[in-house]
Amino acid sequence: MQQTRSQQLFEQAQRVIPGGVNSPVRSFRAVEGTPPFIARGNGSRVRDVDGNEYIDYLGSWGPLALGHAHPAVVEAVQRAAADGTSFGAPVEQEVQLAEMICAALPSVDSVRLVNSGTEACMTALRLARAHTGRSKIIKFAGNYHGHADGLLVAAGSGALTHGVPTSAGVPESYAAETLIATYNDLSSVEGLFEAWPDDIAAIIVEPVAGNMGVVPPADGFLPGLRDVTQRNGSLLIFDEVITGFRVAYGGAQSLYGVTPDITTMGKIIGGGLPVGAYGGRSEVMQQVAPLGPMYQAGTLSGNPLAVAAGVATLTELQRPDVYDQLEAAAIRLIDGVTAAFSRAEIPSTVNRVASMFTGFFNPGPVAALAQVEQSDTAAYGRYMHALLDRGVYIAPSQFEAGFVSIAHTDADIDRTIVAVSDALAALG
């Protein structure tokens, strides 16, 4: 695989950008080597600056359920850009996107658009504290909710990949307000409520963990969180930045039949452009300024380009059989990959929920962070590079999710399965 231009750009980037990247996991430090600099994407494929083409299962880390450069999304963005890229004032499309979100999620009576998933989760916690008058929150080890100070404690995603469970620069006094429970272990949550019965404002959880790799919720786990928060006067926050409109049109909450008090969103609702949102039932959202005392603002919130892309994407996702198509593609891929690992006699576990998945170099089961961390990350790194050499692009970290889109054809998937078999054979 030729990487001359990517290597040049990476060296150039490291002189002016920390680590040469604008988000840590892109640096390839966990898997070594040079990250390919992507020049363009179309459908299921991306092409780098050296002309290498890959079948892409990263999908910009989840939002591209329609694939790259979907005509409806491109047209919507071009049309919006021609009228102006930003106003810092209300636009019609933001109302339309908000109405679509509220219609899709029965738990959301109103929604505030922001600019990223980090901003959405950060504000959701502020909102929970404002509503309850309490200060502490519970999060789960390995769940990642963005890089706000109080959430970079036992975090997943890039923090897990780079071995930084708690970021430098986070005051101990602030981190002390974050209590850590074990994902899929209700007893660990109950124990925290017993220790701080009147202090916990909310639980924030990825209903399907996606930032320590894909880890589904155990039976009874999400209903148990709903029960314990209601018994203790706390709020339940679902971080659906990844899962919202990805695992189902109504998100993980519709898939598992559990209703949170607040939902955070991102990724798909911007169709690949920067966006986030938080929403919930009316009595909670009444706390948000200008209606209530909880302040949050953003000059570019409701940006016309992002909301236009979001409206176009959600409109396409409402077409009949879209989610059946995503499910069928994911099943075809995962069945083939699982069989390839079995033939190679390499210990592995593939976790999948709808169109998101992770293959762990780990005999499994993989149901919590402690099990995730037993994975062979060195083997994963060699495997990822072997796939890149064979034209398949997956996440440069064992601890991330992969995604299929409606642009992935049966031929793409069959070619991928062959590439996986060849890559495993090359590992020896």
- CATH code of residue 393: 3.90.1150.10
Residues 258 and 187 in one domain: yes
Known catalytic residue: 267? yes
Residues 212 and 290 in one domain: yes
Report pLDDT digits (tens) over 30-47.
899 999 999 999 999 999
Query: Which of 267, 278, 323, 412 is flagged as catalytic?
Result: 267
With 0-12 CB in 10 A as exposed, 13-18 as middle and 19+ as buried, what is 300? Answer: middle
Locate tokens 């992770």: which residue?
Answer: 358
DSSP letter string, 312-340: HHHHHHTSTTHHHHHHHHHHHHHHHHHHH
How many beta carbons lie within 10 A of that of residue 384, not counting itself? 23
Query: Which of 56, 239, 261, 412 is flagged as catalytic?
Result: 239
Residues 167 and 255 in one domain: yes
Of the candidates 46, 37, 71, the one whose C-alpha atom is nearest the C-alpha of residue 412 is: 46
Point out the domain boundary residue: 298, 317, 336: 317
Residues 62 and 81 in one domain: no
Query: Which of 56, 57, 139, 144 is flagged as catalytic?
Result: 144
Report pLDDT digits (tens) over 148-164.
777 766 554 544 433 44
Residues 151 and 135 in one domain: yes
Structure tokens at 152: 């970079």
Cα separations (Å) of 51 from 41, 48, 346, 357, 390?
A: 12, 5, 32, 28, 14
Residues 100 and 131 in one domain: yes
Residues 217 and 110 in one domain: yes
Contact 249/394 with Cβ under 8 angstroms?
no
Structure tokens at 326: 């995503």
Point out the domain boundary residue: 288, 317, 346: 317
How far is Cα 359 from Cα 349, in angstroms, rounded to an integer?
A: 6
Residues 65 and 188 in one domain: no
Known catalytic residue: 136? no
Residues 140 and 241 in one domain: yes
Point out the domain boundary residue: 261, 291, 317: 317
Range of the domain at 328: 4-69+320-427
Average pLDDT over residues 162-182: 71
Question: Rounded mean pLDDT of the chain?
Answer: 94
- pTM for the structure as a whole: 0.95
Q: How far is CA 85 from the centre of its chain?
A: 26
Known catalytic residue: 239? yes
Number of domains in the chain: 2
pLDDT at 165 over 60: no
Pairing, β 349-353 against β 356-360: antiparallel
